[in-house]
Amino acid sequence: MLATHQMISIGFGVALTPGLLANIMLIIVFLRFGMMRKHENLIYYRLVFNLLVIDTLQLLNMVYLTLTTWLQDYLLPENAQIIPGFFTLLTWYAMCMMLITLAINRYVTVCNVPSYMKIFTPRRTTFIVLVVWPISASISAICHFIIPCCSVSVDYQAYTFNYRNVTGINYVNRYVDNAFWMTATVMIIFCYAQIVRHIRKSATQVASGISANQQKCRAKRNIRIAAQFALISSFFLFTSLFFEFFPYLVPAGSVVPYSAISFCYIGNGSVNSLVYLTMNEEIRRKVVAFLCCRNAPSDGATSQLRELHKATEHGETRMALK
């Protein structure tokens, strides 16, 4: 019979494999079909691509935890054991900043806020995506190497990552981690509330020059975007709260329940790709084309032009009949 740590390690492997493979596949699809260069939603997809890279790094970090849990050994030399902990902070801070950026982008786009549209030009979006990494790396380095307490490390005996050498106040968790996830939480809730408010308001108004069918399609698209954003963000919020408060609920001397934190961490790193594979028809069509070694299917812009052309032809035919 397998030992407890071996069963937990197998659970980690089974849980993270689908998300890791899906993340890598989507990264390849984004690059293969140029979705960040010549797509009508290239700004949004550049943000999503960076989030996929962050998710992939998080899950690769979990691969290391899975191996150490199975072998009950750190695997790395003593002076290199700080690397997984550093990557834990790096990816977490980068994810917080990317989710804030993505929330603002969805708010500006769905709610059509003209005064903020200029923030998300292709060039400025690329700059935002690139600047996230040095900022996250700098803050992680300060927290991990300079602040004298509370470095993050793998704890294979507790089946998760946690803070070590905590003497007194955990300054990193209290003043840095909490600041990041609380700021992300406030921005996500605010932007999502504005999106829901806008969708409900637009559903009761009839825009001039827009047919009922066009309004219906637009409302469905906005609801679909909001639902995708809500699912991705809800996993992040749940994981943040779980990591912060769950340890207070674990009985003293019990370590197995801490593996639930790692499972939440895996879910947070997997949900982005799984949501887009199940809820985004365009990405799903491109994935099928990639797996079948076919050319890229028509994107949203091409489909819209084709529908407009058909509608125009239909209108001309009706005029001719009259």
> Is 309's pLDDT higher than 60?
no
Assign 303 a pLDDT band (cuts: 50, 70, 90).
very low
Runs of H (alpha helix) within the chain: 4-32, 42-71, 82-110, 114-117, 122-141, 171, 178-203, 212-245, 259-279, 281-291, 300-321
Helix axes 212-245, 178-203, angle to 10 degrees: 160
Q: Each residue of 11-54: pLDDT tens digit? A: 999 999 999 999 999 999 999 888 888 767 788 889 989 999 99
Q: With left for phi above 0 and alpha for psi between -120 and 50, is residue 72 left, alpha or beta?
A: left
Distance between CA 252 and CA 66 in Å, rounded?
24
**Helix (H), strand (E) at residue 162:** strand 160-164
Residue 292 backbone dihedrals phi, psi, to 5 degrees: -95, 5
pLDDT for residue 319: 40
> Is 294's pLDDT higher than 50?
yes
Assign 315 a pLDDT band (cuts: 50, 70, 90).
very low
The owner of tokens 């290239």 is 42
pLDDT for residue 169: 80
> Is 163's pLDDT higher than 80?
yes
156 burial type by CB count under 10 A (0-12 exposed, 13-18 middle, 19+ buried): buried
User: 280 in helix, strand or coil?
Assistant: coil
Assign 195 a pLDDT band (cuts: 50, 70, 90).
confident
Amino acid, res. 14: V
> Is 79's pLDDT higher than 60?
yes
pLDDT for residue 222: 62
DSSP string, 119-160: GG-HHHHHHHHHHHHHHHHHHHHIIIIISSS-EEEEETTTTE
Q: Would you say 147 and 171 are in contact if contact means Cβ atoms under 8 Å apart?
A: yes
Nearest Cα to 45, choosing from 60, 24, 29? Answer: 29
Nearest Cα to 181, choosing from 240, 268, 136? Answer: 240
Residue 161 backbone dihedrals phi, psi, to 5 degrees: -95, 140
CA dist 205 → 164, 219, 284 (Å):
56, 11, 32
pLDDT for residue 281: 85
Nearest Cα to 5, choosing from 67, 59, 61, 62? Answer: 67
Torsion angle of the four alpha carbons 258, 259, 262, 266, in this order, in degrees rounded to the nearest 10: -150
pLDDT for residue 322: 42
pLDDT for residue 203: 62
Distance between CA 121 and CA 111 in Å, rounded?
17
> Is 123's pLDDT higher than 50?
yes
Distance between CA 160 and CA 8 in Å, rounded?
11
Under DSSP, the state recorded for 161 is: E
Weakest-pLDDT range from 178-187, 209-218, 241-250 = 209-218
Q: Each residue of 167-187: pLDDT tens digit? A: 778 888 888 888 998 999 999
Domains of the chain: 4-321 (1.20.1070.10)
> Is 312's pLDDT higher than 80?
no
Structure tokens of 248?
Answer: 């207070």
Average pLDDT over residues 140-155: 84
> Is 218's pLDDT higher than 80?
no
Nearest Cα to 103, choosing from 279, 237, 219, 280? Answer: 237
